[in-house]
């Protein structure tokens, strides 16, 4: 790396060489990272509470992940699993199938991205049921492919200018008590879809996130998930849990569906599955997973051997370092800090989320009107102080926290101190 390389120079080159549609939050460029910290090309340090959008639950460059990738490099980097298979794919499929929350035999297939996993889950559901329809939810995010966008329940910025989208996709409101949507409202809306849009015998699947990610870290209430299962059982519909962001210890369980006494038929996984390497998957009931004909599933890079090696290491790290338990400890500490600031920060309307999948929602003082300006100011000032935060939510008024679960206690405490200072400053500026 050249010692004369500057962020401003790269920013100018980026603007000239890459399209504006690839939105980039930061105007500085990464040089290196370790665990929960990263440094830019000018030597500035940042505490990473974004973790590559929930990809680095085990931190940046965990030594076990690095070593696993290095060992695989000495063997081979690619054969295409559908051409020449390898043991690491089979053994990881065995581990994921065994640990997925269900009471029936599972099978697992691997892909590359979360959106690709979602696409394949829909393909599998349609093949298994012979039906075309899919029901998703407002605020849900399922990817940027055409089917992913069709399923996603948020127009800006994901759908603008990209239609038409695949047909036979319908949306019901997701429960959101703060904004007046009850569990019964959501479940009744599915009944309205059956009356107004598509008969239930033509619906292949209902897909939902146990905790909505981009939608604002809204946890699915237990009674809602039970209601979905009952609707699916009554009409022969498959239930798909999109665990792309919730998986691999983020919520205090290996999978978020472990918080519910409900079995899904299919589950999508990605992000922290491989500690920074591109890998995703679909795991589900063996009979359903076997519905597509040979050749119907796969992909040139699906189940890349380097990513599989990293994923094996990730599962070991989660177990050896008790990351499910640590997620709950860190998440509780963060929620306690945020709750303690409610008196000084009246814009805090809600603090929520299981485990370390925590968010704070900001509304205008004394109301339930979303305050996206306040959230953006918090994000911007935190960035100035060296703390990376992400904004999300249908109204862009939610700050979500996605720190690595391996973060050192001292670094975590430092970040909470920065967060408190920033919130106090933004309240003062607003006043």
**In the CATH scheme, what is the code of domain 7-61+322-430?**
3.90.1150.10
Which tens digit of pLDDT belongs to each residue from 293-337? 999 999 999 999 999 999 999 999 999 999 999 999 999 999 999
For residue 228, the SS3 value is helix
Copy the structure tokens of residue 319: 């177990």
Say how far residue 357 (Cα) sits from the centre of its chain: 10
How far, in Å, are 37, 174, 428 from residue 215 at the CA level?
A: 26, 10, 28
Domain ranges (residues) in the chain: 7-61+322-430, 66-320
Q: Please return the burial class of 376, using the count of CB atoms within 10 Å of its CB with bins 0-12, 13-18 and 19+.
A: middle
Give the whole-angstrom CA distance, residue 371 versus residue 87. Answer: 51
Pairing of strands 358-362, 266-269: unpaired
Give the whole-angstrom CA distance, residue 198 versus residue 237. Answer: 13
On the question of pLDDT at 1 being above 50, the answer is no
Residue 3 has what pLDDT?
58
Percentage of the chain beyond pLDDT 70 is 99
Calculate the average pLDDT of the chain.
96
Which tens digit of pLDDT belongs to each residue from 189-238? 999 999 999 999 999 999 999 999 999 999 999 999 999 999 999 999 99
Nearest to 351 by CA among 305, 343, 82, 342: 342
When pLDDT is averaged across residues 27-52 and rounded to a whole number, the result is 97
For residue 380, the SS3 value is helix
Which tens digit of pLDDT belongs to each residue from 277-291? 999 999 999 999 999
**In the CATH scheme, what is the code of domain 66-320?**
3.40.640.10
Residue 103 has what pLDDT?
84
Count Cβ neighbours within 10 Å for each residue of 323-337 and write b for 16 or more, e otherwise.
Answer: bbebbbebbebbbeb
pLDDT band for 2, please (50, 70, 90 cuts): very low
Give the whole-angstrom CA distance, residue 142 versus residue 121. Answer: 11
The pair phi, psi for residue 106, each rounded to 5°, is -115, 160
Which tens digit of pLDDT belongs to each residue from 85-134? 999 999 999 999 999 998 899 999 999 999 999 999 999 999 999 999 99
């Amino acid at each position: 790396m050249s010692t004369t390389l500057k962020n401003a120079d790269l920013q100018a080159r980026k603007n000239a060489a890459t399209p504006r549609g690839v939105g980039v939050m930061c105007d500085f460029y990464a040089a290196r990272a370790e665990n929960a910290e990263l440094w830019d090309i000018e030597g500035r340090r940042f505490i990473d509470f974004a973790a590559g959008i929930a990809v680095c639950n085990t931190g940046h460059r965990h030594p076990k992940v690095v070593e696993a990738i290095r060992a695989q490099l000495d063997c081979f980097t690619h054969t295409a699993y559908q051409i020449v298979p390898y043991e690491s794919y089979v053994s990881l499929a065995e581990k994921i199938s065994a640990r997925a929350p269900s009471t029936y035999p599972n099978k697992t297939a691997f892909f590359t991205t979360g959106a690709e996993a979602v696409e394949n889950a829909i393909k599998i559901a349609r093949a298994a049921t012979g039906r075309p329809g899919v029901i998703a939810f407002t605020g849900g995010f399922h990817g940027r492919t055409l089917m992913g966008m069709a399923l996603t329940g948020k127009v800006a910025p994901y759908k603008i200018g990209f239609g038409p989208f695949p047909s036979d996709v319908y949306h019901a409101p997701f429960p959101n008590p703060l904004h007046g949507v009850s569990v019964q409202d959501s479940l009744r809306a599915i009944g309205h879809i059956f009356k107004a849009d598509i008969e239930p015998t033509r619906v292949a699947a209902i897909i939902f996130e146990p905790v909505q990610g981009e939608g604002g870290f809204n946890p699915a209430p237990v009674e809602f998930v039970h209601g979905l299962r009952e609707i699916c059982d009554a009409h022969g519909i498959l239930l798909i849990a999109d665990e792309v962001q919730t998986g691999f210890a983020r919520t205090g369980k290996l999978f978020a569906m472990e918080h519910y006494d409900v079995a899904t038929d299919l589950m999508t996984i990605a992000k922290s599955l491989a500690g920074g390497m591109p890998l995703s998957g679909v795991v589900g009931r063996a009979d359903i997973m076997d519905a597509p004909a040979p050749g119907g599933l796969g992909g040139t890079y699906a189940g890349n051997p380097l990513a599989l090696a990293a994923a094996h290491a990730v599962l070991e790290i989660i177990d050896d370092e008790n990351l499910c338990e640590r997620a709950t400890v860190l998440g509780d500490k963060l929620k306690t800090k945020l709750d303690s600031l409610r008196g000084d920060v009246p814009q805090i309307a809600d603090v929520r989320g299981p485990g370390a999948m925590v968010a704070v929602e900001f509304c205008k003082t004394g109301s339930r009107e979303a305050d996206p300006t306040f959230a953006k100011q918090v994000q911007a000032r935190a960035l100035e102080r060296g703390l990376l935060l992400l904004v999300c939510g249908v109204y862009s008024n939610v700050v979500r926290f996605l720190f690595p679960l391996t973060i050192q206690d001292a670094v975590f405490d430092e970040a909470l101190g920065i967060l408190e200072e920033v919130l106090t400053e933004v309240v003062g500026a607003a006043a």
